[in-house]
Amino acid sequence: PAGSGHGSARCQRFCPGPLVPSLEVEWRRDRAAALPEGCILRDGDLLLPQAKLAAGGAYSCHDGTGQILRSIFLRLGYLPGIPSVTCRASDYENFSCSWTPSVETFLPTRYITTYRKKLLMGDEKWSRTPSSQVGPCVQDPGRPRTCTVPKCEFWSSYRLNITEVNPLGSSFRLLDVTMQAIIKPDPPEGLVVEPVPSAPRRLRVRWQYPASWPKEPHFQLKFRLQYRPVAHGSWSTVETVNLSEVITDAFSGLEHVVQVGAKDFLDAGNWSEWSAEARATPGPGEEGRPGQGQVRRAPHLPSPCPALPSPPPSLARPPAQVTCFSPALGCRPDRGARR
**pLDDT recorded at residue 170:** 97
How far lies 188's CA from each of 21, 207, 250, in Å?
Answer: 75, 7, 22
User: Which of the pair, 113 or 43, is modelled with greater confidence?
Assistant: 113
Task: Dump pLDDT digits (tens) for 121-171.
Answer: 555 555 554 544 689 999 999 999 999 999 888 888 999 999 999 999 999
Residue 110 pLDDT greater than 60, yes or no: yes
Answer with the one of 160, 182, 204 that is the final residue of a domain.
182
Other Cβ atoms less than 10 A from the Cβ of 225: the count is 24
Determine the distance from the C-alpha atom of residue 279 to the mean position of all C-alpha atoms in its chain, rounded to a whole number.
21
Q: Average pLDDT of the chain?
A: 79
Q: What is the mean pLDDT of residues 83-106?
A: 95
Regarding whether 90 and 66 lie in a shared domain, the answer is no
Pairing of strands 45-48, 40-42: antiparallel
Is residue 43 included in any domain, yes or no?
A: yes
- Position 134 scores a pLDDT of 81
Higher pLDDT among residues 131 and 291, named by residue: 131
Looking up residue 25, the CATH number of its domain turns out to be 2.60.40.10
Co-location of 42 and 94 in the same domain: no
Question: Does a cis peptide bond (omega within 30 degrees of 0) precede residue 130?
Answer: yes
Could you give the C-alpha distances from 289 to 224, 297, 315, in angstroms and in order? Answer: 32, 16, 57
Residue 174, pLDDT above cutoff 60: yes
What confidence score (pLDDT) does residue 77 get?
93
Checking 193-196 for CB contacts under 8 A at 24+ apart, the result is 193/256, 193/258, 193/278, 193/279, 193/280, 194/280, 195/280, 195/281, 195/282, 195/283, 196/246, 196/282, 196/283
What is the total count of domains within the chain?
3
Domain that holds residue 114: 84-182
> Letter for the amino acid at 73?
F
Between 62 and 280, the higher pLDDT residue = 280
CB 190 within 8 A of CB 275: no
Please tell me the predicted confidence (pLDDT) of residue 171. 97
- Where does a domain end: 284, 307, 333? 284
Q: Taking 50 as the threshold, does the pLDDT of residue 321 lie above it?
A: no
Of the chain, the end-to-end C-alpha distance in Å amounts to 131
Query: 151 and 127: one domain?
Result: yes
